[in-house]
Amino acid sequence: MRKLYKSFMLVLTLALVCMAVNAAAAEVVLNPVADTFVRDGDNAAENFGDADRLELKWESDREGMTRISFIKFDISDITAVEKATLRLWVEFSDVLESKVIGVYDVTGEEWSESELTWENAPLTGGTHVKDLYTDNLGYLWLKVDLTEQVKQYILDGVQEISIRLENKSDHWGGAVFITSKEGENNHPELVIVN
């Protein structure tokens, strides 16, 4: 009986410790304050800020087919960061079996969702964060660890973080569409654990 009581107390103590750890780690989900994509060629002056998806494509031999996306999050209310993860819902991924998506931190570059076009977008520069690899299957989340970037920006008092997404796979069938903040559900998220 005494042995059973000790085992029960040990299990209860472990459960309470796990609950305390979970309670201490709060999760905040930030939605974009702005997101859009730009397109080259005849669409270079067009704005897609109200589109319900972000488009990524690179096709070097056909002008007007390349698209680059941008996302901005307001981090001004975040005071502590243990982990920061960008989550992107792939709603469509074209026939190319392996695609590389470049993620760049372009924080500090000024752009507006309602005014950004190919002609005025920060298409180069920024800091390369990571390359994501995706196949030709949609309906999945892509995740990017932005912990170090967000931690530094919080320390520096930066109010917003801005990300550029590029498809680095040059192919006619390499398009990737990500749900935007205007989409019906599965919007981009910056998930902060603190």
Domain boundaries, the chain: 25-193
- Which pair of structure tokens corresponds to residue 55? 């488009």
CB-neighbour burial class of residue 149 (10 A; exposed 0-12, middle 13-18, buried 19+): buried
* Residues 80, 84: Cα–Cα separation, whole Å: 10
Greatest Cα pair distance in the chain: 81
CB-neighbour burial class of residue 145 (10 A; exposed 0-12, middle 13-18, buried 19+): middle
Specify the higher pLDDT residue, 147 or 136: 147
* Residues 153, 157: Cα–Cα separation, whole Å: 6
φ, ψ of residue 152 in degrees (nearest 5) = -65, -40
Confidence band of 21 (pLDDT split at 50, 70, 90) = very low
Which pLDDT score, from 0 to 100, does residue 136 have? 86
The residues, any chain, with a CB within 8 Å of residue 59's CB and separated by 6 or more, are: 65, 66, 170, 171, 172, 174
Which pLDDT score, from 0 to 100, does residue 20 have? 47
The residues, any chain, with a CB within 8 Å of residue 64's CB and separated by 6 or more, are: 39, 40, 41, 42, 43
Question: 25-193: what fold?
Answer: Jelly Rolls (2.60.120)
* Residues 82, 92: Cα–Cα separation, whole Å: 31
Report CA 171 to chain centroid distance, whole Å: 23
Confidence band of 13 (pLDDT split at 50, 70, 90) = low
Contact 29, 107 (CB under 8 A): no
Contact 69, 102 (CB under 8 A): no
Over residues 52-100, the pLDDT tens digits come to 999 999 999 999 999 999 999 999 999 999 999 999 999 999 999 899 9
Torsion over CA: 44, 173, 180, 80 (sign): negative
Over residues 106-132, the pLDDT tens digits come to 999 999 999 999 999 999 999 999 999
Residue 12, pLDDT > 70, answer no
- Which pair of structure tokens corresponds to residue 112? 């507006």
Confidence band of 19 (pLDDT split at 50, 70, 90) = low
Which pLDDT score, from 0 to 100, does residue 2 have? 60
| Best CA proximity match to 35, nearest among 114, 105, 128 | 114
